[in-house]
Amino acid sequence: MNDTATIFREGMSRLGAAVNLVTTDGPEGRHGMTASAVCSITDQPPTLLVCVNRQNRSHDRFNANGKLCVNVLAGRHEALATAFASRGSEDRFSGDTWIRLATGAPVLESAVVAFDCRIVERKVIGTHSVFYAQVEATRLGAEPAEALVWFDRRFHPLTARMPEKV
């Protein structure tokens, strides 16, 4: 890696980002990965972008299945985020409750929020594909006052500050 890429990667480690499980199911099977490269594009129609390294074992499954779910994680999901980020062959979906919404992609029942999407466009930029994903259904979790953030190459749980009583 050249110096520019090394400095860029170090700089990006200092940009905190929400931790998500991006999941899919379809002809290429059920699969998922941990991702922080997710953001909103527009709310009309509701659309996200999800960036996936083309060398990642999940990439081709997302591409072929044409659908994905962005499951936003809470601090209590750190072990789950680690499991989905690992290269092991264990069934990452066991031990948690998964449901389905409009597209049939796996939705983590305890996610802070889940965005169930169809991939409507793809663009390759360098080592990654950018999937433009139109939201077909949104499911708000019961406990939104918690988040999991990736910063400085580590997970950090965040809890919302309780409002002060007046």
pLDDT recorded at residue 13: 65
Assess whether pLDDT exceeds 90 at residue 34. yes
**pLDDT tens sequence across 71-108:** 999 999 999 999 999 876 567 898 899 999 999 999 99
pLDDT recorded at residue 159: 84
| Domain parsing of the chain, residue ranges | 3-153
**pLDDT tens sequence across 131-158:** 999 999 999 997 767 899 888 888 888 8
Secondary structure, 3-state, the chain: CCHHHHHHHHHHCCCCEECEEEEECCCCCCEEEEECCEEEEEECCEEEEEEEECCCCCHHHHHHHCEEEEEECCHHHHHHHHHHHCCCCCCCCCCCCEEECCCCCEEECCCCEEEEEEEEEEEEECCEEEEEEEEEEEEECCCCCEEEEEECCEEEEEECCCCCCC
pLDDT recorded at residue 152: 86
CATH topology of domain 3-153: Pnp Oxidase; Chain A (2.30.110)
- Mean pLDDT for 54-65 is 94
Q: What percent of the chain has pLDDT over 70?
A: 91
**pLDDT tens sequence across 3-30:** 888 887 777 666 678 899 999 999 999 9
Task: Pull the structure tokens for residue 20.
Answer: 């998500």
pLDDT recorded at residue 144: 62
